[in-house]
Structure 1
């Protein structure tokens, strides 16, 4: 029987400890191929910038007693998925996993995330996708900090990957988005949630001088428990401290009767 083929990618870059924590766990489930951006690509969403040159670097990495071959792509997470599917894999994988990300991806800003963007790109090919993020402080988001412990997030990556490989994803669920609290353990409960209709990371201006000076936008977490529903990903992660599991679909059509909308737009 053919082993499951798993494509593993991320948005923190091919050298990210979070990605390799997932790789070590996933080898128990099938053949894992690592294809990820060469550079840090946080915030890239599902973008396909024409300035990406598509160069692919073959790299070797020692993890325990195994030498891995990985591929670093000059491009975004979504482009890394495309290069993997079109040029590097012998067939479409049974599952695409994006992560483990430094920092949670919750609420209405998830389409900014390169972690989610890579999963969305895989889903557009009809491949089940799993996106996993670990809650960390903002100071860790653009790092490869070795102080962040990915062991619990890796456990849940393997847990949900195994279930998808065994049972698939139901109905119009195309992506499973998993958020692991910072202090979670493998015994931490998990709960199926909905996407909170609330902005989680709020941008702010850092400009102190003229418009011609460099002033990249900053961002901070701004949310309180009364602003989000108890069945949402934000509430589960931030206030109940459980693992949040959110089903996502690429169908972003508003859940409003189409005929009623047409009548609304045609009214005199």
Structure 2
């Protein structure tokens, strides 16, 4: 396939032209061969979706980034679909690791499945492939911008750090994805913590003002949180209040951690 033993599939949800993607590519290049298969266009907020409107057309191109030519594959599809195309048509085998990011904007709280960054990682782990999803805290106005003003160097450092661990260590059962969120202004010396996914909503809907339902009314969003209501060990608190790197182990198993017998008794009680 190539001269490197370790095979890494890199994708994102901000498109093939994202500076965050390329910061990750440079960081991962030190660990193995990086196959870059990412959406052709912006796919923020597409989650783990597989819309049948995607054509699946793959544009093979060479991009000159950071003084080097990189072969890349731009997919007309979501990040999750890019992972599938990458495995079946580009690499034609399972890579050792899938990395999604580096995303413009933090992916924290109860709505992380909205994230295309996290969605790509979830798709990868459904194939039994270890997956890393990395996001950088930015102001909302930067989320769709592909701005060159964002410094991804710290996020790239942590991308390399955790990717290296995932390639060299077998994680415990049920740790399918590592979700890493890096605070704005972070450096390589910024502490990191293992966190839980917060149950609190972080991105709240912001409705478009309109005079009738026939007018366009896209749902926008804005961050909103009360530090006093956040779990101290949650991703939102650690990132926004402690200003540390949040490292959240994610399971693909979304089953509620409840007592099944107690739940059954509760349901059956309705028949009495």
Using the size of structure 1 for normalisation, the TM-score is: 0.98
Shift of 1:64: 3.0
Greater Cα offset, 161-170 or 184-193: 161-170
**What residue in structure 2 maps to residue 225 of structure 1?**
227
CA distance in 2, matches of 1:64, 1:174: 32
**How do 1:209-248 residues align onto structure 2 when only pairs under 5 Å count?**
209-248=211-250
CA distance in 1, matches of 2:35, 2:85: 12
**What residue in structure 1 maps to residue 77 of structure 2?**
75
Match status 1:111 vs 2:122: no
**What residue in structure 2 maps to residue 134 of structure 1?**
136
**What residue in structure 1 maps to residue 27 of structure 2?**
25
Query: Gaps (5+ residues) in structure 1?
Result: none
Query: Gaps (5+ residues) in structure 2?
Result: none
CA distance in 1, matches of 2:5, 2:141: 39
CA distance in 2, matches of 1:116, 1:64: 26
1:151-192 residue CA offsets vs partner (Å, 9 max, x unmatched): 110000000000000103222100000000011000000000
Shift of 1:62: 1.3
Using the size of structure 2 for normalisation, the TM-score is: 0.97
CA distance in 1, matches of 2:5, 2:162: 17
Give the secondary structure class of the aligned counterpart of 2:187: coil
Shift of 1:2: 5.6
Shift of 1:85: 0.8
Do the aligned partners of 2:86 and 2:92 also contact (CA within 8 Å) in 1?
no
Shift of 1:209: 1.9
CA distance in 2, matches of 1:97, 1:195: 19
**What residue in structure 2 maps to residue 160 of structure 1?**
162
1:37-70 residue CA offsets vs partner (Å, 9 max, x unmatched): 1010000000000000100001111123421000
Shift of 1:82: 0.6
CA distance in 2, matches of 1:231, 1:61: 41
CA distance in 1, matches of 2:107, 2:171: 21
Of the candidates 54, 57, 63, which is equivalent to residue 56 of structure 2?
54
1:183-242 residue CA offsets vs partner (Å, 9 max, x unmatched): 100000000000101000000211222111112112111101111110000000000000
CA distance in 1, matches of 2:83, 2:62: 19
1:242-266 residue CA offsets vs partner (Å, 9 max, x unmatched): 0000000011110001111111100
Of the candidates 1, 6, 9, which is equivalent to residue 7 of structure 1?
9
CA distance in 1, matches of 2:100, 2:37: 10
Q: Which runs of 4+ in 1 moved over 4 A?
A: none
Do the aligned partners of 1:128 and 1:168 also contact (CA within 8 Å) in 2?
no
